[in-house]
Amino acid sequence: MTPTDWQIVSKLLADITGDKIGTLEACKVGGGDINCAYRLSDGKHRFFAKTNTRERLPMFEAELYGLNEILRSDSIRVPEPIGCGVAGEEAFIVMEYIELSGRANESEFAHKLAAMHRCTHDQFGLTVDNTIGSNPQPNPYENDWVKFWQRNRLGFQLSLAKKNGCGDELFETGMRLNQRIGEFFLSYTPVPSLLHGDLWSGNQGVDSSGEAVIYDPACYYGDHEADLAMMELFGHPGESFFSVYREVFPIDDGYPVRRELYNLYHILNHALLFGGGYEAQARRMIDRLLSQL
């Protein structure tokens, strides 16, 4: 971003907040996978911004929508979304800056996350499509969760993998599994819960008062087990998390099997984003899931 680009951001901030915003100093923040992240300050106000190429504006619009959805649920702290736009060659999103550190208290986090999951919708999906990492994540509204997962999650990722040159065998066995995933839901009917959608440990923290914060969401209304599974994929929530969570939102006995189904989606996404051993891991997951049917 050039100084002129930051002036455009400053003007948008002034328009939205109604405050006079001075020249912004942008200090790079590490930790993100996808975008350039900055702490912005004019000496009086602080904001958090992320930038990417200008054609990625819809990604930031969808992030803004997701942050608003969680904010409105009044369940768990998220950075207050402010706005997004294009400045020069880049798209940007700006939101409240939160001094983040460490990990939340498990009981508090469990309680608030379960409260967010208790916010429901009459259908699965979301009003907008968003992204998972930098890959597209379609969210057309759907009454049937199994169809939603088949079309917009597992089937969609398998098709992306095929287009991007992953092996035929992965696609074919994956699609064989995809046709049969209804069998994992014979005695369980999920409700459409508000999900963060990308709840790995790098997207949660605490603010300076120790309050739990989640950020960088890939929101949609879906089975709450999908968020729990992602938390377990790259982290280890303890027994205190699960015992408090269950008091607010019971977890069905079939969760341990579906956890692998839900995490397969993220592992396929990681295979596309990062390569490495993720494709082989996805193949092993597909085999294990098929062997349970």
Question: Which of 254, 257, 284 has the alpha carbon at shortest distance from 268?
Answer: 284
Residues numbered 190 to 209 that lie near ligand ADP (CB under 6 A) are 202-203
Q: Which stretch binds ligand ADP (CB under 6 A): 26-34, 102-110, 175-183, 228-236?
A: 26-34
Reading the block at residue 249, the tokens are 């939102």
Question: Which of 125, 92, 123 has the alpha carbon at shortest distance from 10?
Answer: 92
95 makes contact with ligand ADP (CB under 6 A): yes
100 makes contact with ligand ADP (CB under 6 A): yes
Q: Give the span between the Cα atoms of 197 and 219, in whole angstroms.
A: 5
Q: Cβ atoms within 10 A of the Cβ of 219, count?
A: 26
Nearer to ligand ADP, 202 or 235 (CB): 202
CA–chain centroid gap for 52, Å, is: 18
Active site residue 198: yes
Q: Give the span between the Cα atoms of 156 and 177, in whole angstroms.
A: 13
Nearer to ligand ADP, 79 or 190 (CB): 79
Residue nearest to ligand ADP (CB): 32
Q: Which residues pair with residue 261 across a beta bridge?
A: none
Nearer to ligand ADP, 142 or 216 (CB): 216
98 makes contact with ligand ADP (CB under 6 A): yes
Expressed in percent and rounded to 5, the helix, strand and coil fractions of the chain are 50, 20, 35
Residues 6+ apart with CB under 8 A from 262: 223, 225, 226, 229, 230
Q: Which stretch binds ligand ADP (CB under 6 A): 27-35, 120-128, 176-184, 271-279?
A: 27-35
Binding letters toward ligand ADP, positions 33-62, x by CB under 6 A: xxx-x----------x-x------------
Indicate which single residue of 2, 19, 22, 31 sits in contact with ligand ADP (rule: CB under 6 A): 31
Sign of the dihedral defined by the CA atoms of residues 159, 160, 165, 170, in that order: negative
**In the block, residue with structure tokens 């912004």:** 24
Question: Which of 19, 59, 11 has the alpha carbon at shortest distance from 35?
Answer: 59
Nearer to ligand ADP, 7 or 201 (CB): 201
Asked if 226 contacts 139 with a C-beta cutoff of 8 angstroms, the reply is no
Q: Which stretch binds ligand ADP (CB under 6 A): 31-39, 119-127, 177-185, 273-281?
A: 31-39
Supply the angle between the helices 224-233 and 106-117 in degrees, to the nearest 10: 150
The one catalytic residue in 5, 198, 216, 227 is: 198
* Min separation Cβ 101 and ligand ADP, Å: 9
Amino acid making up residue 108: E
* Min separation Cβ 177 and ligand ADP, Å: 29
Residues numbered 213 to 252 that lie near ligand ADP (CB under 6 A) are 215-216
8 makes contact with ligand ADP (CB under 6 A): no
Q: Give the span between the Cα atoms of 53 and 90, in whole angstroms.
A: 5
66 makes contact with ligand ADP (CB under 6 A): no
Catalytic positions:
198
Interface residue list for ligand ADP (CB under 6 A): 29, 31-35, 37, 48, 50, 79, 95-98, 100, 202-203, 215-216
